[in-house]
Structure 1
Amino acid sequence: MSAGTSEPASPRSADPELREDRLLGGRVRLLQPLSGYRAATDPVLLAAAVPATPGQSVLELGIGAGAATLCLAARVGGLSLAGLEIEPLYLGLAARNAALNGVEISLVEGDIAAPPPELRARSFDHVILNPPYHPSASPPSPVAVRDRAHREGGAGIDDWIGAALARARPRGRIALIHRAERLPEILAALTDRAGAIEVLPLAAREGRDAKRVIVRARKGVRTPSRLLAPLVLHEGQAHLADQDDFTRRARAILRDARPIDFEETSR
């Protein structure tokens, strides 16, 4: 679910090391490296899970090239947006992509473990994150920048969630997308620190195990947790033609910029 679902505008951009993709049915233009991490479905789904409203503030930890934040901005206007990124390459791409889409994002270079003072001085209504999916002990990728995007370095899931909660205002919200097999670590990191936890499994097809989960929580509340019915992304049991086979709900989210309705999943 993390590849092959962006909408190419052209195979190459003016820069021979970049390509330009389109997300949300062409609403978002995204320059991405030909080699290295490239965003596809996951950040679009993450953005759709954020219940932000105009006038609120949103921080993305590990903003990368800006896909999730830009998808959120395409759906909700009037947000105060910020992003933290450790990789200069992706920070530069996030700045270019923000300009390309006419979106203002306050971009900060730094590590989640030690955010710069200008970020530590702020709190946000929403903090979103798409942390590296693989533990530090996983085999490394031969492409260094891809390896840093996909494999944990010194910071694990607990560190990422701790950083998100530290930057959220009291009763503020966090949202993340991750591999389903790491859900126990995510829930452990949220225990006694957040409530109103909602877990939305993401299944590629009906009857398949969920490979991803979206988790939302609120800082400092004690509202009970909810495990929702899966959001199924594709019709049928196999991809049979060279065209998208998204379900009605998935197409509305991924192509038409609709938010994920967490109440619909429970009906």
Structure 2
Amino acid sequence: MPETPPPESGPDETLDSIGTAGVRVLQRRTGYRFTLDAVLLAHFAATEGTGATGRLLELGAGSGVVSFLLVKQFGLGPVDALELQPAVYARLERAVALNACEDRVKPLLGDLRRLRELVPSGQYAHVVSNPPFRRADAGVRSPDDERAVSKSEVACDARDVVAAARHALMPGGSVSLVYPATRVAEVLGLLTQAKLYPSVLRLVHSRVDAPATRFLVHALRDRDRGLAVRPPLIVHGEGPGGYSTEVAALMEPPLAEQGR
């Protein structure tokens, strides 16, 4: 009798789909789970980094959703996906096969603060990161280590992320990040100090009349071309699923494709 294939997800895992290209990711039921930020970052990096050709690096890849979206939905790559936590990394490795991305997404296990020990300087055309948002001293730390490391700056902070991006990027390369709107001055300052000059900024609002909650920034290594501020990105609106038309187009394939 043929062997029964192993289940795609374990008892404490979910197998989730996202985007318009059938991306699938493994996540712990009770651990940190990806948010819409990952989808918005992948789209932003793909649209604002159109001049970049070459290998990409994702810092803090987690479940790999950004890397898989870049490759499958936006046609970029190959991508090296760096993840710190061994258990999260193991799920990322399995998801590479689930998405048939063995030749397009390469998982790397390691600490972005020690990136110099993992990859030579100047190897990447584009770096992307959806890093931990919450300062380590802000609020109560989650008792779950996976959530704490993924959400709070207990294993790295914004300065570490910027330094890693600077090391990884080739001259003229670009980095795309997403952070809370309250940290825009801090992060733009850190980028500029590292000579990663912000070139595009876009604020994200939950609704058209609500304050910004996030910002997306694209910066260039050693090239100061001035800062372009894009129109606000509105998440919720009258589109499918209660999203704005722009965001809905990133989340689900058109109905005509779904019926094929």
Which residue of structure 2 lines up, in the alignment, with residue 135 of structure 1? 135
Paired residues for 1:206-225 under 5 Å: 206-225=208-227
Q: Which moved more, 1:68-77 or 1:203-212?
A: 68-77
Aligned length: 241
Residue 197 of structure 1 and its aligned partner are, at CA, apart by 2.3
Q: How much does 1:78 deviate?
A: 6.0
State the Cα distance separating 1:143 from its structure 2 match: 1.3
State TM-score, norm by structure 2. 0.86
Which residue matches 1:265? none
2:34 alignment partner AA: A
C-alpha separation in 2, matches of 1:163 and 1:14: 32
Q: Give 1:119's aligned amino acid.
A: V
The separation in 2 between residues aligned to 1:116 and 1:218, in whole angstroms, is: 20
CA separation of 1:44 and 1:158: change in aligned 2, threshold 3 A = same
Supply the AA of the counterpart residue of 1:124: Y
Q: Is the contact between residue 121 and residue 167 of structure 2 (CA under 8 Å) also seen in structure 1?
A: no
Q: 1:55 to 1:225 in 2, by over 3 A?
A: closer
Q: TM-score, normalised by structure 1?
A: 0.83
Indicate if the aligned counterparts of 1:13 and 1:19 stay in contact, CA closer than 8 A: no
What is the match of residue 250 of structure 1? Answer: 247
SS in 1 for 2:87: helix
Q: Is the alpha carbon distance of 1:65 and 1:223 closer, same or farther for their aligned partners in structure 2, counting shifts above 3 Å?
A: same
Where does residue 80 of structure 2 map in the other structure? 82
Alpha-carbon spacing, 1:40–1:26, altered in 2? closer, same or farther (3 Å): farther
Inter-partner Cα distance in structure 1 for 2:106 and 2:24: 19
Equivalence for 1:113: 113
Q: Distance in 1 between matches of 2:155 and 2:14?
A: 30
- Deviation string 1:34-91 (CA, Å, 9 cap, x unpaired) is 0111113111111111235696211000011101000111123362210111100111
> Structure 1 CA distance, aligned partners of 2:156 and 2:99?
31
Cα distance 1:18–1:179, how it changes in 2: closer, same or farther (>3 A)? same
- Matched residue, 1:126: 126
Q: Which residue number in structure 2 is paired with residue 262 of structure 1?
A: none
Is this contact kept in 1: 2:20–2:250, CA < 8 A? Answer: no
**Paired AA for residue 212 in structure 1:** R
CA contact (8 A) 1:55 1:80 kept: no
- Please list, as runs of the form range in 1=range in 2, the aligned pairs for 1:149-188 lying within 5 A after superposition: 149-188=150-189
Alignment match of 1:22 (pick from 17, 34, 45): 17
Task: After TM superposition, give the deviation of residue 154 of structure 1 in Å.
Answer: 4.8
Which structure 2 segments of 5+ residues have no match? 1-6, 255-260
Deviations 1:180-204 (A, max 9, x none): 1111111110114122521111111
Kindly provide the amino acid, as one letter, of the partner of residue 250 in structure 1.
Answer: V
Runs of 4+ in 1 over 4 A off after TM superposition: 52-55
Aligned position for 2:148: 147
CA RMSD after TM alignment: 2.2
Paired AA for residue 253 in structure 1? L
1:168/1:219 contact within 8 Å kept? yes
Asked whether the 8 Å contact 2:53–2:125 carries over to 1, the reply is: no
Conserved 8 A contact 2:124-2:170: yes
Could you tell me whether the CA contact under 8 Å between 2:89 and 2:107 is conserved in 1? Answer: yes
Question: For residues 204 and 237 of structure 2, what CA distance do their matches in structure 1 show?
Answer: 13
**Contact 2:199/2:226 (CA < 8 Å) preserved in 1?**
yes
Report percent identity of matched pairs: 26
Distance 1:245 1:196, change over 3 A: same
CA distance in 2, matches of 1:56, 1:23: 25
